[in-house]
Amino acid sequence: MPDSAVQQQPAAPSADSHAPRHTLTVRVTHWITVACFLALLVSGCELVISHPRFYWGETGNVGMAPLFSFHIPSSRGTVPTGYKYVLPDQNGWSRYLHFQSAWIAVLTGLVYALSSLVTGHLRRNLLPRAGLSLRALRPDPADAHSYNPLQRVTYLFVIFGLFPLVIWTGLAMSPAFDSAVPAAVNLLGGRQSARTLHFFVSAALVIFLLVHLAMVWLAGFRIRVGAMITGRAVQQEDQ
């Protein structure tokens, strides 16, 4: 058979090593969110230390039995913890840092959500669709510029589930918000219930962060982080 009649097999799809992976808006909002999350985590831990007891309902104080508590020293001598000493009270700066970081994170999230809708990032990269590999670690070149279905579902759950819930429960602890929108607080069971739920949602976000970092490390830390900084994805060389 002549060579001209031999059908050539289509080449395996490959990703351009210099193709854009993350837009500028995604990268900027990502790193702002990272900084805010770290600030919220540090200040949130200090706020827990100031009163390491959690209640359910509208009110909670040291004279009431807690729903659960942490056996750690408190930064307030009036909070019974079983210890005979207290930690230095850092409640002032931690509250300011927590509130400021929270509002910056909220505004950043709104920018990200609106940009995702306008640019189609939500539809292209986050909404699950058929034909994507479930492989999460060291993807093939064809999958290098796309999130797999597990990543998409997880990101959607965090962005549109955990983030709104942590904002809602955070606002519900505010007396001003309680006075303005009491129904939103009552749906959570009261201000102390909101504080307890806020703690658990925050813990879920920390777990997501740890898993996310582990997956980034296993998939290639330098490549993944580099793509989130420069916007360009460079495929790993074959081992």
Question: Could you report the per-residue pLDDT of 188-231, keeping only the tens digit for each?
Answer: 999 999 999 999 999 999 999 999 999 888 877 888 888 888 87
Report the CATH number that the domain containing residue 182 is assigned in CATH: 1.20.950
Q: What is the dihedral angle through the alpha carbons of 84, 90, 92, 97, rounded to the nearest 10 degrees?
A: -140
* Number of structural domains in the chain: 1
Share the mean pLDDT of the chain: 82
How many angstroms from the chain centroid is the CA of residue 116?
Answer: 17
What range defines the domain where residue 38 resides? 20-56+66-230
In a domain, 137, yes or no: yes
> What pLDDT score does 9 carry?
44
In a domain, 124, yes or no: yes
> What pLDDT score does 237 carry?
39
> What pLDDT score does 7 carry?
46
Q: In sequence order, what are the beta bridge partners of 232?
A: 20
> What pLDDT score does 132 carry?
54
Work out the pLDDT band at 80, boundaries 50, 70, 90.
confident
In a domain, 210, yes or no: yes
In a domain, 34, yes or no: yes
> What pLDDT score does 68 carry?
94
> What pLDDT score does 23 carry?
82
Distances in Å between the Cα of 162 and the Cα atoms of 40, 42, 52, 67, 219 are 15, 19, 23, 22, 25
**Per-residue pLDDT tens for 128-175?**
776 555 554 455 444 445 677 888 889 899 999 999 999 999 999 999
In a domain, 6, yes or no: no
Residue that has been written with the tokens 């970092």 in this structure? 213
Instruction: Please state, in angstroms and rounded to a whole number, the distance separating the CA atoms of residues 94 and 197.
Output: 20
**Per-residue pLDDT tens for 106-134?**
999 999 999 988 988 888 878 877 655 55
Phi, psi for residue 233 in degrees, rounded to 5: -105, 125
> What pLDDT score does 235 carry?
54
Instruction: Please state, in angstroms and rounded to a whole number, the distance separating the CA atoms of residues 171 and 173.
Output: 5
> 160's torsion region: left (phi>0), alpha (psi -120 to 50) or beta?
alpha
CB contact at 8 A, 14 and 142: yes
In a domain, 4, yes or no: no
> What pLDDT score does 234 carry?
59
> What pLDDT score does 10 carry?
42
In a domain, 164, yes or no: yes
> Would you tell me how many other CB atoms lie within 10 Å of the CB of residue 180?
11
In a domain, 2, yes or no: no
